[in-house]
Amino acid sequence: MKRIDPPAIDDIEELTLLANNEGLGSYPGLMNEYSGFLSQYNEYSKSGGNPWNIVPLTISDHLKKALRTHYGSPPEGRLQFIKNYRRGLSPTLCLMCGGFGNGTLDHYLPKEDFPEYSFFSKNLVPACNCNSLRGRTVKGAAPPARVIHPYYDDFLADRLYQAVFQGEFSAPSISIEIIDKNHPKFDILKFHLDEVIKNDSTQGWFEKYWSDLSQRPHDKLELVLPLSSQDLSAADLKVALERYRNHMDKDHDTPNNWLSIFYTGLMRDHDRLDQLAAVINSNR
């Protein structure tokens, strides 16, 4: 997860050019709905895409299909930003879940349910495969539960999540929790955790990372461990991990990337730090 400003795209200009193009399948449907689209775009910008504030526009199946086609294969010279978003907006980090994959664009408000935002730039967010795993889910049973929006939710600058390790050293069960149980956006953080972050692919990454770290901590942490050959204490290790974690925050420009989540949780687990320090000392 990461808060970024979306590039300044003139969505109204894009809409106007598409609506006026008589050669497209969306003509004249889009022209007929033009004012409805304008007010939907306006509402989105005003409410930050909040699914609790936005009522989808009712449009024909024919027009829905044409809009999805515009997104999937934009007409010549139009909607160029879609390609650029995919390639350049966040190539190394998923803005939605904080993982290190990417390559797809997530429709924050799903295009099946909100077709008017199929090619609205502020509704398109670079993401990894958490995108297809979340499917059409965007809000919970009651407000304010909803998915976090990387273009509007400033609280993404806070450190929000940490890993929790339970059970044996070599193969613990690892989960992710919200750090501040009194966070003013707790319901949103919880919904986002359950619906976007938690999935098999996230679980697999955390387990593999722990497996590698617990077996070869001296290799993984070589650059941050003190050079002295004296035995390392759990407290020394914690200092080194904090430096590493802070470096990862800066490197990815967010305290909510998966390495931040992993190390923030590990730093609070003193027993595990003791055991990890013992592995390091046995290899010095």
Using CB under 5 A, list all residues that contact Zn ion: 94, 96-97, 99, 127-128, 130
Q: Which is nearer to Zn ion, 128 or 237 (CB)?
A: 128
Per-residue tokens: 141? 């049973």
Listed residue (203, 205, 202, 247) closest to 224, CA to CA = 247
CA–CA distance, 136 with 52 (Å, rounded to integer): 15
- Pick 27 or 152: Cβ nearer Zn ion: 152
The minimum distance between CB 232 and Zn ion, in angstroms, equals 34
Nearest distance from C-beta of residue 65 to Zn ion, angstroms: 28
Burial class of residue 250 in the structure, from the number of CB atoms within 10 Å of its CB (0-12 exposed, 13-18 middle, 19+ buried): exposed
Q: Rounded distance, CA 111 to CA 192, Å? A: 19
Q: How far is the CB of 197 from Zn ion (least distance, A)?
A: 8
Nearer to Zn ion, 63 or 127 (CB): 127
Between residues 134 and 185, which has the closer beta carbon with respect to Zn ion?
134
Contact 44, 52 (CB under 8 A): no
Least separation in angstroms between residue 29's CB and Zn ion is 33
Q: In this structure, are residues 88 and 10 in contact, taking their beta carbons and an 8 Å threshold?
A: no
Q: What's at 169, amino acid-wise?
A: F
